[in-house]
Chains A and B, each alone.
Chain A
Amino acid sequence: MNRMQRIAWCQLGFVAAAAIFSVIAMAFFVRKYDYSAPEAWWLAAGYAVPLLILAVIAPPVIFRKRRGRVDCDERDLMIDCTAARIAFGAAFVFFIGVCVTTWIAVGVDSMIPAVWLTRIVYIGWVTAVIAHALTTVVFYSRGGLANE
Chain B
Amino acid sequence: MTPHAPATSLRQALLVPAVGFAVVAVGALGSVAVLWAAQAQRFEREVAAVRATNALVLDLTQRQSEAQRAVLAYRYRPDPRARGEIEGRQAQIGATIARISALELPARGRAVWSDYVSARGAQLAAAQALLDAVGAPRDHYALAFDRWALVSGRTSALLADLAVWDVKRLNRAVAESDGQRKRMLAGLATTLVAAAAALLVLAARINGRVVRPLLAMSAVASRIAKEQTALPVAGGEREDEIGTLARALNDMTAQLVEGNEKLVGALATRDEFLSIASHELKTPLTSLKLQLDGAAHRLSAHGEPPPWIAAAQRQVRRLEALIGQLLDVSRIRAGRLALDVSETDLAQVVKAVLERFGPELERAGNSVRLELDDGATGRWDAGRLDQVVTNLVSNAVKYAPGTPVSVRVRAADGCAVLEVEDGGAGVSPALRERVFDPYERGATPRAVGGLGLGLFIVRQVVEAHGGTVSVGSGRTGGARFVVELPLG
B is bound to A: no
B residues sitting closer than 8 Å to A (CB atoms) are none
